[in-house]
Amino acid sequence: MSKLLKLSILVGLLLLAGRAGAQNLTFSTNLLDWANFGTINGDATISLGRRWSMGVNGEYNPWTFKFSNGEKWIYNRHRTFGVYGEWWPWYVNAGWAVQFGAQYKEYAEGGFPFFKHDYGERFGRIPLVEEGDAVGGGVAVKYSRLLSRNWSLEFSAGAWAGWKWYTRYRCPNCGRRLEQGQGFFVAPYSVAVKMVFVIPLGEGARHERETPQVPYRLTW
């Protein structure tokens, strides 16, 4: 995906949010992704009213880690781009929410001894080394804890499913191809502990961030 396309998506979200009377603009990063072999990541979201928001996210990991004088390689390289919506029963960026979205991932992963694939009599069970492309949709549940007017801490977890096109190899650094194929997959989605920076848009948004709210069950 080109930089121009990603910029166009973000500009489109900003324009749509402006027309819908947006309350908050947020930027966040997932601490768990940084712990996942240094995956660079970020999200940007716009609220579209009291209970709805939408956003874009991206991840990038180009790293390969080599051990034993370069004989053993471990990597979880990938590029991921996604768009999603969020429904907040209370109001945006506070309390519980349901996230649903679509995602594309280009990946190459291998060298992990605890992820193995059975190739039968030919090779037996050996560590999985796979690269490919995946596209699909996912659902997650999240909880956002307000820390201050401009900072929040978010927790989320979910699953996504879709279709992938893959190539598998004998080892992480030999390039010996074992098989190619495509098929259905299910994987974790939006498993995150995020630090969120919130920019209130307009006086009404600032007032809502600063004023305690009644439980959402009293506001239907």
Residue 218 has a pLDDT of 39
* Percentage of the chain lying above the pLDDT 70 cut: 73
Give the HSE-up count for residue 100: Cα atoms under 13 Å, Cβ half-sphere: 4
* Residue 217 predicted with pLDDT over 50: no
Tell me: pLDDT of 204 over 60.
Answer: no
Sorted by sequence, the CB contacts under 8 Å of residue 112 that are 6+ apart come out as: 74, 127, 128
Q: How confident is the model at residue 78 (pLDDT cuts 50, 70, 90)?
A: very high
The whole-number pLDDT of residue 213 equals: 47
Higher model confidence: residue 170 or residue 25? 25
**Is the confidence at residue 73, as pLDDT, over 70?**
yes
Q: How far is CA 137 from CA 9, 37, 103, 201, 210, in A?
A: 18, 24, 6, 30, 35
Q: Cα separation of 58 and 29, whole Å?
A: 10
pLDDT band at 58 (very low <50, low <70, confident <90, very high): very high
Strand-pair partners of 202: none
Note the pLDDT of residue 128: 72
- 126 — pLDDT class (breaks 50, 70, 90): low
* Predicted local confidence at residue 10, as pLDDT: 55
Summarised one tens digit per residue, pLDDT across range 157-203 is 999 999 999 998 887 777 788 889 999 999 999 999 999 999 987 65
Residue 114's pLDDT is what? Answer: 65
Domain that holds residue 166: 3-218
pLDDT for the residue numbered 212: 42
pTM, rounded to two decimals: 0.78
How many domains are there within the chain? 1
CA distance 196 to 144: 9
Q: Is 53 exposed, middle or buried (0-12, 13-18, 19+ CB in 10 A)?
A: buried
What is the three-class DSSP state of 92?
A: coil
The pLDDT value recorded for residue 200 is: 87
Helix ranges (H only) for the chain are: 3-19, 31-35, 203-210
User: Residue 67: which CATH number?
Assistant: 2.40.160
What pLDDT is stored for residue 161 in this prediction? 98
pLDDT, position 215: 46
Exposure string of 71-85, with b = 16+ CB inside 10 Å and e = fewer, is eebbbbbbbbbbebb
